[in-house]
């Protein structure tokens, strides 16, 4: 029998999903990429013609400063968890299907779901123990 997430677990998971969306929505131009993804070689334009229609990038709504602060808080909590818990929560927050996780980890969906619920509970405990930074207290 499949056990459902409780209301508090669902709320925490929705906040983590929002953090994942915020991270994906941030602009990712070459100057903002992490050092491991940048190249020392300059970008080379391989086409000699200019296509104006292809130069415009449709950006969705930009995340608010509050959403970015909440994302930072979520990522701080995730950083305090074990790598297995962190990967499982982050994969589910980014929409990775259970079947893919089963194939990737070699574990059953039931055990993955159980570990996911335990990880969400641990996330709530760690988040509750963290002291908010000064800028969050002033608000």
Nearest to 10 by CA among 124, 102, 138: 124
Nearest to 40 by CA among 51, 27, 55, 30: 30
**In this predicted model, what pLDDT tens digit does every residue of 38-91 receive, in sequence order?**
556 655 555 555 555 555 555 567 888 899 899 999 999 999 999 999 999 999
Q: Average pLDDT of the chain?
A: 79
Nearest to 86 by CA among 58, 113, 123: 123
Domain ranges of the chain: 7-26+61-138
CA pair distance 10, 121, nearest whole angstrom: 11
CB 69 within 8 A of CB 136: yes
- Mean predicted confidence (pLDDT) in 18-24: 90
């Amino acid at each position: 029998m499949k056990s459902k997430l409780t209301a508090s677990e669902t709320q925490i998971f929705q906040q983590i999903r929002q953090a994942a969306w915020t991270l994906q929505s941030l602009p990712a131009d070459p100057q903002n990429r992490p050092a491991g993804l940048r190249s020392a070689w300059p970008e080379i334009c391989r086409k000699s013609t200019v296509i104006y229609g292809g130069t415009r990038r449709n950006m969705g709504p930009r995340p608010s400063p509050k959403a970015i602060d909440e994302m930072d808080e979520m990522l701080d909590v995730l950083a305090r968890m074990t790598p297995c818990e962190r990967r499982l929560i982050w994969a589910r927050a980014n929409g990775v299907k259970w079947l893919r996780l089963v194939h990737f980890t070699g574990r059953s969906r039931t055990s993955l779901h159980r570990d996911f619920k335990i990880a969400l509970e641990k996330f709530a405990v760690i988040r509750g123990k963290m002291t908010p930074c000064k800028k969050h207290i002033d608000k």
